Structure 1
Amino acid sequence: MNFKSYPTATWLLLAGFTVAAQANETEQLTDLTVTADLRDDTTIREIASSVSVLDEDTLSEAGVQHFQDVLGLVPNLNWAGSTSRPRYFQIRGIGERSQYEGAPNPSVGFIIDDMDFTAIGGAATLFDLQQIEVLRGPQGTRYGANALAGLIHIRSQAPEYNQAYHLETTLADQGTYAAGFSATGALGDGDKAAYRFAIHQFQSDGFRFNDFFNRDDTDQKDEFMTRGKINWQLTDHWTADLTLLLVDINNGFDVWNPENTFTTHSDDLGIDNQRSTGFSIRNTVEATAFDFISISSYTDADIQYFFDGDWGNDAYWGEFAPYDFTSNNDRERNHLTQEFRLVSHTDARIFNDSTDWLVGFYAAQLDEDNVINDFFNDEVYRDFYSSFEATNLALFAQLDSHLTANTKLTTGLRFEQRKSDYTDNGGLDLSPEDDMWGGQLSLQHQMNPGQTVYATLSRGYKAGGFNLSPSLPESRRAYDPEYLLNYEIGLKSLLLDNSLSLNISAFYSERTDMQVSTSVQEDPTDPLTFVFFTGNAAEGTNQGIEIDWLYQLSRNWSMFGSIGLLDATFDDYVTVDDDFNGRQQAHAPDYTYHLGLSYLSDQGWFARADLNGSDGFYFSDSHDQQAQKRDILNLKVGYQSDHWSVYAWGRNVLDESYAVRGFYFGLEPPDYADTLYQHLGDPQHFGITALFDF
């Protein structure tokens, strides 16, 4: 990584941090809790892996509407803009970039309140959230096949027994407005049950102008969320938590054009709709020697994804008209999960009272139906239907052995079986089955009350699968499971009288039978023959360093940030046309960074600056086209009191131009030359938000 490539503004901001430090009394920081761990109420310093936790204050201060707003705060996290909101993520350079057909096989898990939203993360709106956790590296014991690269875990606010109400509203340019309301309190007169209810609506015109329709709202956002939660103390030893969720997203998707600008020409408006409903029930029963935990969840998602394949209209294409491609994908997905855990109490340790233990069982049933209709000049080009079912069964166990008062050895193991059935109207009928295992071996040592070092060896896995396009030859249809062996060391610290939190980790990962997503265009005159397929490259290496910090400079000033360094390369990947040995993997920038500074006066005035960005990266593993580096500055200023707050904010205030997705193929007649087409990220955006608590 070349730090000279950072913009001058970065170094000015760093200089400002030093000037900002004052001699008055500072607040003490405390460890944040990680709710995604197998043991509840585990802190960051008790987990022997690299973790980022974005707490309630961070989400409120740095975000506006969606998880997309705060992605830049997390080191070595990237996303692919194939949809109106991020659904496909890459952690340490590993993760999918799209899914246009059935048979999902994700590398990054995505959980909201115990409900599995992996690969449909558009539901991750920010209103009334408690925190977002990003666990980097394979979660071989905890989440298995859905978390080869890591896990994104979202937890909403919990019910409280004291009655409270919250109202929030936003107005901004680009026709943006939002309103949200939440309420919490006791159910009945006692202290046995509490509820929480939240509802939120967001609307925006988006950032494109369509010159065919003469409209500025063809890339609009229309996002609705409502959630209900109940906490029951059924007995002195039995607690039940119920969550109900509805997210209704009715977004446009009109971002592509041959010129790579914010003016589009489509005569068939894109659609990116996702209506997701779900529930989760977590039962915790405290027995004499252990806690019995049952987690049940169900999600139902109806998704429509429609796009104009030629990105133009008859007038735009002129002498080459009619030239009209469209594609519509209707997806119905149901996901049922059940997990049981036995988690030991401290007084039930084994092996001479030195070892905590837990065992568990996990089952999941995923059903997904896809209907794809492609049209060419108003005639049916392809009518495709597929049905996919997958069943996952897993057994897992973990031992936490206290070798000394300050040293702990963690041993985890998970065995998982995945069976799937796939059929389509093209005659494909497949039933692959994979037996996989993963786990971890970690050693932690507490050097003093504020510093812990760790070393971890972990193994993750990802099930095999198959490609669906009938235009692919038989040799490209199936691919094998992928495995990842991860070596990691780290330091987690609370320093300077608990005014500085500093976490540092270094990792080295070996990918075996690496699943690589690439593309081919069978007919150069037909954009709809541009298809993706997955195959096993021999090996890959992903290594790097991750650092994050929070420094309470004084009672009023805070400095925070993160740096992710990444070297993700192919070790042995050769195609018919190219030799990719030593080349970077796609969507794996050499560096990501975030630098921030906040100020809160004793009188309530507030200001915050966030500068985040990344190095350039390859768009795909099938060509050498790259995104340019980006540096995004977000600002927020306002006033907050005990019961109300108001903020003015700006996002991408320097109006940086950058790409979040790129395709390289032939679109434009008459010669259909391969050309790079880019989905540009959001430009400059300003607004005001008011909050009321009563």
Structure 2
Amino acid sequence: MTRTLKPIILKTSLLALAISGIANAEPLEEVIVSGELRSIEQLRLANSVSVITEQLIEVRNAKSLEDLLNLAPNVNFSTGASRGRFIQIRGIGERSQFVAPSNPSVGIIVDGIDFTGLGMGVTTLDTAQVEIFRGPQGTLYGANALAGMINVVGNAPDKDGGGKVSAGFGNYGSYDVGGNVSIPVGDSAGWRMAVQKNVSDGYIDNVYIGRNDTNNIDEVSFRNHFSFDISDQLKVDLISYIIDIDNGYDAFSLDNDRTTLSDQPGHDRQQTNAHALKTAYSGLGFADLQANVSYADSQVEYGYDEDWTYRDICTIDSSCAYWQYSTADNYLRENRNKSADVRLLSKENDGGMQWVVGVYYRYQQVALERTYTDNAPDDDFYSDDYTPVFYTYSSEYITKNAALYGQVDFPLADSLTLVTGLRYENFDAEFKDSDSAVFGPSENLFGGKIALELSLSDDTLLYGLISRGYKAGGFNAEPRVPQNKREYDTELAINYELGMKGDWLENSLLAQVSTFYQQRKGVQVNVSEAEAVDDFVIFLDNAAEGYNTGLEVELTWLATDALSLSGSFALLNTEHEEFLNVSHVDGSPAEPYDMSGRDQAHAPNYQYYVAAQYDLLSNLYFRVDMEGKDGFYFSESHEERSDSIDLLNARLGFDVGMLSLAVWAKNLTDEWVETRGFYFSHDFGNDPRKFYAAEPYTQKGAPRTFGVSASYTF
């Protein structure tokens, strides 16, 4: 605990020293959370949720979801791609995906459209706010929200019309352009359109092929929103997204730096067409009716140079001759999902019972085409006219989720409310592949919550929460997996939480504090099993139990009319219990080793974010912030950890009428950031010059970046 608390105390001193008095601060605006069953004030919600506003997104100069995740306590992510595609909340979440189907732990909803598993495509285009729910959301979202849920809310059409154009550029060949426009259509309809393009050469220098853009960013997003007030009682919204991502992927270096030797740099692409139709009808006498129907069609292609080098790195007369291999791997997934959510909500009333009841259905079809290329056949490795050998694999994975859910809020006294929620869900899956594997699991699942809300005053809420979440079981498609391990079971999580929320000092100080204990049963983890000294297989299995406990604090304080302070702080302790894993050690198969008591992967013991913004003049401000996290284990399969990080960012902004200008910098001290790591402990490294000696490799995040941005509002 000493190792955990000391960095928090030192690194949050900026906020602690500033808390010395209040002087003429203006009230903070009320924040409404829309991702709950009914819209509610953030500080009246008995749930841990961070809300990242449009203003914070702008001053953060954030272009994608991964640029925002470090702002929320106990939220982490893994790359293994051009963006942070895999998200962990309170230490729970996936870190990669290759052949096997995946049931995610963190759900992602964008304007009512299910983007779960497609986090790379979530940009900040025309975003009003991002809501990050922490802990099992068994009532709210079900099977894909064991760890939590992220709800992205776009801006609605402006009834008065108007718009905004923006542009910026920075080092590493980066630039962005974007804009939005709202046009009223008569008195009862509105239209809003937005577009954004984000480009960067990336931070990798490929010295073999002489390029510095093999890990580039090239992303275009388009959003369209029609809003219709059909009558006083009926409102309809039609929202569409078109996303085109063509990023490079050349991130791993044999020398563990940002210099690569790949002869076949990879790619990370996504094309998405997505639509949502949302209706709200208030004409029923006893309840309001809400319905949301969505459809998303995405093609995701992920490929990389598996050997991270070039074919003839070892010449025929070198010491490592005949050691090298040369392969490339490519995964093309077509992901189609349809969902429908219909709910009845009791009419708003003061102090009376409130209820919600709904039905939900989701259909998802994922078709995979994998192509594995061997560029170094043994019989003509050193031939100039060699013929690559291609191995192909295909699969189809269909899931159907049907759920009935409800929530009732019972007032027990003037200041005490009991909240109960329940969700019953049927999960049905069908899988088949080109290796003749066939699986068809089906199971009934349930989750829910019980919460007590105590309003100490109009500005202070205490709550206690017990929630239950679940993640469906699955199967391992790899035929080498032992027959008795081909399928794994459902994971369950029970969350016990105490929290306090409030807005004090005449609404100039907002705070959220929560402490939690989560018990996980049947923890789904990656394990490895040795078939021989030089052969092993990694697959998903269930550990018996795991425990995740922690503390989360969020503060926003307008200290004066000129000075605002904000921060988030988190402590997290995780461990496995009764978990045996197998690995190769010293070139021979090892006996199972007990990982009980060890931290879970991608679960840093502490995280923090502290920001201060000072208005030098009425139209000139300076902002500085720091973010950091403890080192964490990369995997359950080895003992390699990331280094802890502390990143310093700054921004100087100037407003002239409707024109805004800013100069910004991120990671000012140019720290090395590790976002994903491997350790080939199975008697297999990846560098033929070292005869494939086992060693760790890590993917690096962004170095120091800086630039300027401008926007004009009309």
TM-score, length-scaled by structure 1: 0.95
Task: Kindly state the Cα deviation for residue 512 of structure 1 after the two structures are TM-superposed.
Answer: 0.7
What is the total number of aligned residue pairs between the two structures?
682
1:685 maps to amino acid: T
Task: Work out which of the residue numbers 400, 418, 437 in structure 1 matches 2:427.
Answer: 418
Answer yes or no: is the 8 Å Cα contact 1:140–1:414 preserved in 2.
yes
Task: Work out which of the residue numbers 681, 687, 694 in structure 2 matches 1:668.
Answer: 687
Task: Kindly state the Cα deviation for residue 128 of structure 1 after the two structures are TM-superposed.
Answer: 1.4
Task: Kindly state the Cα deviation for residue 74 of structure 1 after the two structures are TM-superposed.
Answer: 0.6
- Tell me, in whole angstroms, the C-alpha distance in 1 between the residues paired with 2:205 and 2:461: 53
Answer yes or no: is the 8 Å Cα contact 1:467–1:477 preserved in 2.
yes
Q: Counterparts of 1:186-335 in structure 2 under 5 Å?
A: 186-187=184-185, 190-286=186-282, 287-318=284-315, 319-320=321-322, 323-335=325-337
Aligned match of 1:408: 417
- Tell me, in whole angstroms, the C-alpha distance in 2 between the residues paired with 1:521 and 1:368: 30
Determine helix, strand or coil for the equivalent of 1:393: strand
Of 374-383 and 384-393, the range deviating more from structure 2: 374-383
Answer yes or no: is the 8 Å Cα contact 2:313–2:324 preserved in 1.
no
Task: Kindly state the Cα deviation for residue 358 of structure 1 after the two structures are TM-superposed.
Answer: 1.0
Aligned match of 2:673: 658
Of 146-155 and 311-320, the range deviating more from structure 2: 311-320
Task: Kindly state the Cα deviation for residue 675 of structure 1 after the two structures are TM-superposed.
Answer: 1.6
1:436 maps to amino acid: L
Alignment deviations for residues 622-673 of structure 1 (CA, whole Å, 9 cap, x no partner): 1111111111111111202340100011011110112100011122337433
2:33 maps to amino acid: V
Q: Counterparts of 1:82-93 in structure 2 under 5 Å?
A: 82-93=80-91
Alignment deviations for residues 143-163 of structure 1 (CA, whole Å, 9 cap, x no partner): 000100000110111111111
Answer yes or no: is the 8 Å Cα contact 1:56–1:129 preserved in 2.
yes
Task: Kindly state the Cα deviation for residue 306 of structure 1 after the two structures are TM-superposed.
Answer: 0.7
1:402 maps to amino acid: P
Answer yes or no: is the 8 Å Cα contact 2:528–2:581 preserved in 1.
no
Answer yes or no: is the 8 Å Cα contact 1:17–1:597 preserved in 2.
no
Task: Work out which of the residue numbers 444, 453, 456 in structure 2 matches 1:444.
Answer: 453
| Residue 640 of structure 2 corresponds to residue 618 of structure 1 | no
Of 398-407 and 373-382, the range deviating more from structure 2: 373-382
What stretches of structure 2 of length at least 5 have no aligned partner?
316-320, 376-386, 583-591
Aligned match of 1:6: 7
- Tell me, in whole angstroms, the C-alpha distance in 2 between the residues paired with 1:9 and 1:104: 40
Determine helix, strand or coil for the equivalent of 2:143: helix
1:481 maps to amino acid: T
Task: Work out which of the residue numbers 504, 511, 515 in structure 2 matches 1:506.
Answer: 515
Structure 1 pair 540–181 and aligned structure 2 pair: CA distance change class (3 A): same
Answer yes or no: is the 8 Å Cα contact 1:314–1:321 preserved in 2.
no
Task: Kindly state the Cα deviation for residue 57 of structure 1 after the two structures are TM-superposed.
Answer: 0.8
Structure 1 pair 215–424 and aligned structure 2 pair: CA distance change class (3 A): same
1:558 maps to amino acid: S
Structure 1 pair 486–271 and aligned structure 2 pair: CA distance change class (3 A): same
Task: Kindly state the Cα deviation for residue 169 of structure 1 after the two structures are TM-superposed.
Answer: 0.1
Determine helix, strand or coil for the equivalent of 1:6: helix
2:439 maps to amino acid: L
Answer yes or no: is the 8 Å Cα contact 2:4–2:606 preserved in 1.
no
- Tell me, in whole angstroms, the C-alpha distance in 2 between the residues paired with 1:368 and 1:327: 19
Task: Kindly state the Cα deviation for residue 116 of structure 1 after the two structures are TM-superposed.
Answer: 0.9
Alignment deviations for residues 199-251 of structure 1 (CA, whole Å, 9 cap, x no partner): 11111000010001111111000000000001100111100111000111100
- Tell me, in whole angstroms, the C-alpha distance in 1 between the residues paired with 2:445 and 2:635: 28
Answer yes or no: is the 8 Å Cα contact 1:102–1:388 preserved in 2.
no
Aligned match of 2:384: none
Structure 1 pair 60–547 and aligned structure 2 pair: CA distance change class (3 A): same
| Residue 708 of structure 2 corresponds to residue 685 of structure 1 | no
Task: Kindly state the Cα deviation for residue 317 of structure 1 after the two structures are TM-superposed.
Answer: 3.5
Alignment deviations for residues 589-612 of structure 1 (CA, whole Å, 9 cap, x no partner): 101111110112443101111101
Structure 1 pair 374–293 and aligned structure 2 pair: CA distance change class (3 A): same
- Tell me, in whole angstroms, the C-alpha distance in 2 between the residues paired with 1:22 and 1:644: 33
Aligned match of 2:567: 561
Determine helix, strand or coil for the equivalent of 2:50: strand
Structure 1 pair 477–191 and aligned structure 2 pair: CA distance change class (3 A): same
Determine helix, strand or coil for the equivalent of 1:536: strand
Determine helix, strand or coil for the equivalent of 2:580: coil
Aligned match of 2:463: 454
Task: Kindly state the Cα deviation for residue 16 of structure 1 after the two structures are TM-superposed.
Answer: 6.0
Structure 1 pair 3–511 and aligned structure 2 pair: CA distance change class (3 A): closer
Answer yes or no: is the 8 Å Cα contact 1:102–1:386 preserved in 2.
no
Q: Counterparts of 1:351-370 in structure 2 under 5 Å?
A: 354-370=352-368
- Tell me, in whole angstroms, the C-alpha distance in 2 between the residues paired with 1:581 and 1:8: 29
Task: Kindly state the Cα deviation for residue 320 of structure 1 after the two structures are TM-superposed.
Answer: 3.7
2:369 maps to amino acid: V
- Tell me, in whole angstroms, the C-alpha distance in 1 between the residues paired with 2:9 and 2:516: 29
Determine helix, strand or coil for the equivalent of 1:335: strand
Alignment deviations for residues 104-126 of structure 1 (CA, whole Å, 9 cap, x no partner): 20000011111111111011211
Of 95-104 and 582-591, the range deviating more from structure 2: 95-104
| Residue 619 of structure 2 corresponds to residue 607 of structure 1 | no
Determine helix, strand or coil for the equivalent of 1:72: helix
Structure 1 pair 606–320 and aligned structure 2 pair: CA distance change class (3 A): farther
Structure 1 pair 518–691 and aligned structure 2 pair: CA distance change class (3 A): farther
Task: Kindly state the Cα deviation for residue 315 of structure 1 after the two structures are TM-superposed.
Answer: 4.2
Task: Work out which of the residue numbers 108, 111, 123 in structure 2 matches 1:110.
Answer: 108
Structure 1 pair 373–365 and aligned structure 2 pair: CA distance change class (3 A): same
Aligned match of 2:36: 37
Determine helix, strand or coil for the equivalent of 1:559: strand
Task: Work out which of the residue numbers 124, 127, 130 in structure 2 matches 1:129.
Answer: 127
Alignment deviations for residues 324-365 of structure 1 (CA, whole Å, 9 cap, x no partner): 111011110000000110000035x9xxx8311111000000
1:573 maps to amino acid: F
Q: Counterparts of 1:16-31 in structure 2 under 5 Å?
A: 17-18=18-19, 24-31=23-30
Aligned match of 1:372: 370
Task: Work out which of the residue numbers 637, 655, 659 in structure 2 matches 1:644.
Answer: 659
Task: Work out which of the residue numbers 537, 549, 555 in structure 2 matches 1:549.
Answer: 555
- Tell me, in whole angstroms, the C-alpha distance in 1 between the residues paired with 2:314 and 2:278: 56
Task: Kindly state the Cα deviation for residue 498 of structure 1 after the two structures are TM-superposed.
Answer: 1.2
Task: Kindly state the Cα deviation for residue 81 of structure 1 after the two structures are TM-superposed.
Answer: 1.2
Aligned match of 2:587: none
Aligned match of 2:47: 49
1:491 maps to amino acid: M
Answer yes or no: is the 8 Å Cα contact 2:125–2:223 preserved in 1.
no
Answer yes or no: is the 8 Å Cα contact 1:62–1:610 preserved in 2.
no
| Residue 394 of structure 2 corresponds to residue 392 of structure 1 | no
- Tell me, in whole angstroms, the C-alpha distance in 2 between the residues paired with 1:142 and 1:571: 29
Answer yes or no: is the 8 Å Cα contact 1:75–1:546 preserved in 2.
yes
1:569 maps to amino acid: E
Determine helix, strand or coil for the equivalent of 2:103: coil
Q: Counterparts of 1:178-189 in structure 2 under 5 Å?
A: 178-187=176-185
Answer yes or no: is the 8 Å Cα contact 2:462–2:501 preserved in 1.
yes
What stretches of structure 1 of length at least 5 have no aligned partner?
none
- Tell me, in whole angstroms, the C-alpha distance in 2 between the residues paired with 1:186 and 1:524: 69
Answer yes or no: is the 8 Å Cα contact 1:612–1:633 preserved in 2.
yes
| Residue 599 of structure 2 corresponds to residue 584 of structure 1 | yes
2:361 maps to amino acid: A
Determine helix, strand or coil for the equivalent of 2:541: strand
Of 566-575 and 423-432, the range deviating more from structure 2: 566-575
Task: Kindly state the Cα deviation for residue 102 of structure 1 after the two structures are TM-superposed.
Answer: 4.5
- Tell me, in whole angstroms, the C-alpha distance in 1 between the residues paired with 2:513 and 2:423: 27
Task: Kindly state the Cα deviation for residue 14 of structure 1 after the two structures are TM-superposed.
Answer: 3.8
1:68 maps to amino acid: E
- Tell me, in whole angstroms, the C-alpha distance in 2 between the residues paired with 1:673 and 1:580: 24
Answer yes or no: is the 8 Å Cα contact 1:609–1:635 preserved in 2.
yes
Aligned match of 1:343: 345
| Residue 638 of structure 2 corresponds to residue 631 of structure 1 | no
Structure 1 pair 146–680 and aligned structure 2 pair: CA distance change class (3 A): same
2:479 maps to amino acid: P
1:100 maps to amino acid: F
Task: Work out which of the residue numbers 598, 609, 615 in structure 2 matches 1:594.
Answer: 609
